[in-house]
Amino acid sequence: MAFKHLLGLEELSKTDIESILTSAKSFKEVFTRSVKKVPALIGKTVVNLFFEPSTRTRTSFELAAKRLSADVINFTASGSSVSKGETLIDTAKTIEALASDIIVMRHSESGAASLLSKNVRSSVVNAGDGMHEHPTQGLLDMFTMLEHKGRIEGLNVVIVGDILHSRVARSNIYGLIKLGANVTLCGPPTLVPSFSGLPVRIEYDLTKALENADVVNILRIQRERMDANYFPSLREYTKFFGLTTDKLAHAPKDILIMHPGPMNRGVEIAHEVADCKNSVITEQVTNGVAVRMAVLFLVSGAKEKNFETD
Ligand code: CP
């Protein structure tokens, strides 16, 4: 299986998603080797083009590309000619003139990755575009669920928080539904949109939502995308939607606790919940490297034989 771009999970099939997750499992095995590197993308150039801040996504794409033996260029908007008025397409074409093969882009505008893919010859990987999608986060979240629960089909997954502004939520919803999970959305009514045509359950009471949950994925409040007051106060938000040990007492004992990061401890997640034995938040970060290796490999069109190290 190979595809030119990864723009979102909405347009991928169940088989496409399963292929990426299977490939990621093979790449994760590379982490256990003494030399954590394969020559799969030797001679290829990956450009990380980030117009918004990032800790996890940018560094893990960089590490993933390096573990595949690609050359990597990191480009951030601050300090570049973007601040002098250069357009996205002109910036991308300038980068392509440096012979890029894959452009990994994060941008504040929904649809920016799709626009880029229509204007460059490189493969484009969406590292988050506005409120639209963050496909590799959705994939790494599903990979982590699969590792711990052994399946996605039939899992009860609760996504809590600012779903309206969340590209992570959208990629999770599209991917999880395709793989047969039961998805519940929970948050203040102003922050939980209806996804017409998609089989999602909406539950405004977090303790009820947690009752049969196999997984809870907690989202932060995305103030940078808010143009109004969506709830009366942070204190009230935390009271009803912050995951605390008290609320967790309503959930099954083996519930998996996830958060894509960055976390706001004491707001959407209590300190003791973030650090409890059910939390797999740091594992999500590790798995992000394996999933992004799989995605870079698949969009590059490289052949399986280049995966061997010895
Ligand atoms: N989960 C996520 O996208 O984190 P960063 O913003 O740090 O990349």
Domains of the chain: residue spans and CATH: 14-133+288-308 (3.40.50.1370), 135-284 (3.40.50.1370)
Residue to mutate (ligand 1; options 57, 131, 280; most atoms within 8 A of CB): 57
pLDDT score, position 309: 44
Query: Is residue 10 pLDDT above 90, yes or no?
Result: yes
Question: What separation in Å is there between the alpha carbon of 55 and the centre of ligand 1?
Answer: 6
Query: Is residue 215 pLDDT above 90, yes or no?
Result: yes
For residues 216 and 306, the model is more confident at 216
Ligand 1: atom nearest CA of 261 is: 1
CB distance 80 to 308 below 8 Å: no
Q: What is the mean predicted confidence (pLDDT) over 251-259?
A: 98
The Cα–Cα gap between 160 and 188 comes to 9
Ligand 1: atom nearest CA of 128 is: 3
The Cα–Cα gap between 256 and 279 comes to 6
261 lines ligand 1 (CB under 6 A): yes
3-state helix, strand, coil in the chain (%, to 5): 40, 15, 45
CB distance 302 to 41 below 8 Å: yes
Ligand 1: atom nearest CA of 58 is: 8
pLDDT score, position 303: 62
288 lines ligand 1 (CB under 6 A): no
- Eight-class DSSP state of 259: -
pLDDT digits (tens, 9 = 90+) for 30-63: 999 999 999 999 999 999 999 999 999 999 999 9
287 lines ligand 1 (CB under 6 A): no
Least confident of 28-42, 110-124, 220-234: 220-234
135 lines ligand 1 (CB under 6 A): no
Query: Is residue 208 pLDDT above 90, yes or no?
Result: yes
pLDDT score, position 70: 98
Percent of the chain, pLDDT > 90? 84
pLDDT score, position 307: 52
Residue nearest to atom 1 of ligand 1 (CA): 260
Residue type, 266: G
Q: Whose structure tokens read 């484009």?
A: 124
- Distances from the Cα of 232 to the Cαs of 186, 227, 229, 238, 240, in angstroms? 17, 14, 7, 11, 12
Query: Is residue 263 pLDDT above 60, yes or no?
Result: yes
As a whole number, the mean pLDDT across the chain is 94
Query: Is residue 304 pLDDT above 60, yes or no?
Result: no
Residue nearest to atom 7 of ligand 1 (CA): 55
Query: Is residue 197 pLDDT above 50, yes or no?
Result: yes
56 lines ligand 1 (CB under 6 A): yes
Question: What separation in Å is there between the alpha carbon of 107 and the centre of ligand 1?
Answer: 12
Q: What is the mean predicted confidence (pLDDT) over 151-155?
A: 98
For residues 262 and 308, the model is more confident at 262
172 lines ligand 1 (CB under 6 A): no
Q: What is the mean predicted confidence (pLDDT) over 120-131?
A: 97
Query: Is residue 237 pLDDT above 80, yes or no?
Result: yes
Residue nearest to atom 3 of ligand 1 (CA): 57
Query: Is residue 65 pLDDT above 80, yes or no?
Result: yes
Q: Whose structure tokens read 């009803």?
A: 240
Query: Is residue 291 pLDDT above 80, yes or no?
Result: yes
Q: What is the mean predicted confidence (pLDDT) over 161-185?
A: 97
The model carries a pTM of 0.94
Ligand 1: atom nearest CA of 106 is: 8
Asked if residue 135 has a cis previous peptide bond (ω within 30° of 0), the answer is no
119 lines ligand 1 (CB under 6 A): no
Range with top average pLDDT, 51-55, 72-76, 123-127, 304-308: 123-127
Query: Is residue 245 pLDDT above 90, yes or no?
Result: yes
